[in-house]
């Protein structure tokens, strides 16, 4: 069973779109003569087995609805910055972007 059901391909497409937006933002920043925004950009769609396990651990039904509405990490984007000071700059740019919302920040 694919816990993401008919949305599996869409999740990958959404992840790729977000990564493309971040890469474009980086290119604009570099073109403006500023340092690049990140050292590494890593995206992933949570593996099927991991999402099933998370739903079970949280007491949710093992369903597409639970995976996409109750769990908030089906898609993850990690931006690895060059310097600690870059984190605030990058977060500020992402907060200002009209194509995303920052839901959770982790060190």
Positions of the chain with pLDDT lower than 70, given as ranges: 107
Domains of the chain, CATH where assigned: 5-96 (3.30.460.10)
* CA torsion angle 57 58 60 64 (round to 10): -80
Query: What global pTM score does this model have?
Result: 0.88
pLDDT digits (tens, 9 = 90+) for 42-58: 999 999 999 999 999 99
pLDDT value for 102: 81
pLDDT value for 75: 96
CA–CA separation, 86 vs 99, rounded Å?
Answer: 21
Any residues with CB less than 8 A from the CB of 103 and at least 6 apart, and which?
A: 72
Cβ atoms of residues 13 and 73 within 8 Å: no
What percent of the chain clears pLDDT 90, i.e. is strictly above it? 92
């Amino acid at each position: 069973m694919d816990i993401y059901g008919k949305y599996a391909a869409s999740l990958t497409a959404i992840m790729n779109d977000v990564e493309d937006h971040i890469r474009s933002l980086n290119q604009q920043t570099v073109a403006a003569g500023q340092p690049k925004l990140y050292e590494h950009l890593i995206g992933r769609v949570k593996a099927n087995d991991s999402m099933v396990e998370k739903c079970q651990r949280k007491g949710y039904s093992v369903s597409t609805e639970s995976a996409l509405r109750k769990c908030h990490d089906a898609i993850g984007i990690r931006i690895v910055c060059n310097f600690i000071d870059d984190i605030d700059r990058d977060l500020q740019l992402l907060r200002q972007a009209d194509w995303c919302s920052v839901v959770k920040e982790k060190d």
